[in-house]
Amino acid sequence: MLKKDFWFDLPKELIAQEPADPRDSARLMCLDRRTGQVEHRIFHDLPQLLQPGDLLVVNNSKVLPARLIGQKVPTGAVCEVLLLRQVKGDTWECLAKPGKRLQPGTRLTFGDGTLTAQIEQTEEDGNKLVTFFYDTETLYEKLDSFGKMPLPPYITKQLEDQSQYQTVYAKELGSAAAPTAGLHFTPELMDTLRGLGIRIAEVTLHVGLGTFRPVKEENIADHVMHSEWYSVSEETAQLIRQAKAEGHRVISVGTTSCRTLESVAKKYGEIRACSGDTDIFLYPGCEFRCIDGLITNFHLPESTLIMLVSAFCGYEHTMEAYKIAVQEKYRFFSFGDAMLII
């Protein structure tokens, strides 16, 4: 298939600039992946739409407040560094602005000067390897003090509360972007689900900024996915195997949980406890070996994420659902509304 097959016209005003309040008041499109039938609900209706024994699999990765605004030493020129992944020790791969002026050997300072850094080298893709120096036990403490959430570029409004860009079950630090389908859950909604016999399991996949990287190749099969680290615990593996054995549905909360489960199932032929890196790219024609349902937001035109949804739901059903979403003025992208695809 071609990249242009996944294009749709999206009015700018449908790009959500802030999350729903409360979180579970977002709209929820229910899509039957066999028939393409669409139903319009609210996210807090989710308990009515699931069945006892269903297993929701969430991504418990926590977003790093990884965007740092600082100054070059000694000129004081303003610069920006965005931490992407830990390479070794206190050396991280980062996006840096202005990239051309931040050459190896350049020193930077942030906040009150108790966090400093040095540019070590420039990678082929323009990213920088940066070593950080600080007076606390961990770098994360400094990020909590000086860092800002790395919001996607299409969100131009600053957050009043940084926790708005974290799921309520986030615990494993490491993501450069939120697993946004999970932003709709509240502790109360999760308690209601559990009370109805709907189980919840956790995986970890640290979301990289590659999730926003556009597909450049016209033939989508030529696109190379970014690699992201994941982990599946023995407890989660057992819950999934049990659900499958009992004939219950495994429903992925988000494309990141989906990619984790499908990566493991493809590699081992089953879900087992493991960790590693995945660059799995799911697009129409790919086989799904684990999930039976998907909760996800509405994604960018021509993105790998809408391609994943099309792979799971079928191309025609997906594009028609997106057409309806635009007509019905659903809110799109990270802070937008959600879909339940079963």
Omega into 22 within 30° of 0, i.e. cis? yes
Residue 208 has pLDDT above 90, yes or no: no
As its CATH architecture, domain 3-63+162-341 has: 3-Layer(aba) Sandwich (3.40)
Residue 315: pLDDT band by 50, 70, 90 thresholds? very high
Written as six digits, the tokens of 213 are 């990287």
Contacts of 262 (CB under 8 A, 6+ apart): 280, 282, 288, 289, 290, 291
Return d(Cα 223, Cα 151) in angstroms, integer: 24
128-158 pLDDT, tens digit per residue, is 999 999 999 999 999 999 999 988 888 988 7
The Cα-based distances of 271 to 249, 268, 278, 294 in angstroms read: 14, 7, 15, 17
Residue 71 has pLDDT above 80, yes or no: yes
Residue 234 has pLDDT above 90, yes or no: yes
Q: Residue range 260-277: average pLDDT?
A: 97
Return d(Cα 116, Cα 235) in angstroms, integer: 40
State in words which class domain 67-146 has. mainly beta
Would you state the pLDDT for residue 212?
66
Return d(Cα 288, Cα 280) in angstroms, integer: 12
174 residue type, one letter:
G
pTM of the full predicted structure? 0.93
How many CB atoms within 10 Å of residue 13? 10
Return d(Cα 95, Cα 186) in angstroms, integer: 32
- Residue 145 near residue 135 (C-beta atoms within 8 A): no
Would you state the pLDDT for residue 171?
96
Return d(Cα 314, Cα 318) in angstroms, integer: 6
Residue 210 has pLDDT above 80, yes or no: no
145 residue type, one letter:
S
Q: 127: which DSSP letter?
A: -
- Average pLDDT, whole number, for the chain? 95
Residue 188 has pLDDT above 90, yes or no: yes
Q: Residue range 209-227: average pLDDT?
A: 87
Would you state the pLDDT for residue 157?
82
Return d(Cα 134, Cα 83) in angstroms, integer: 15
Would you state the pLDDT for residue 288?
98
Which has the closest alpha carbon to 180: 170, 188, 189, 190? 170
| Domain chopping of the chain, boundaries | 3-63+162-341, 67-146
Q: What percent of the chain has pLDDT over 70?
A: 99
Would you state the pLDDT for residue 292?
98
Q: Residue range 30-55: average pLDDT?
A: 98
254 residue type, one letter:
G
Q: Residue range 298-302: average pLDDT?
A: 97
Q: Residue range 110-138: average pLDDT?
A: 95
Strand arrangement, sheet containing 27-31: 38-42, 27-31, 338-341, 293-297, 250-253, 55-59, 199-205, 228-232, 274-278
Q: Residue range 267-292: average pLDDT?
A: 97
Q: Which residue has the tokens 């609900």?
A: 41
76-105 pLDDT, tens digit per residue, is 999 999 998 889 999 999 999 998 899 999
Would you state the pLDDT for residue 33?
97
In the 3-class helix/strand/coil scheme, how is 165-215 assigned residue by residue?
HCCCCCCEEEECCCCHHHHHCCHHHHHHHHHCCCEEEEEEECCCHHHHCCC
Q: Residue range 99-128: average pLDDT?
A: 95
Residue 265 has pLDDT above 70, yes or no: yes
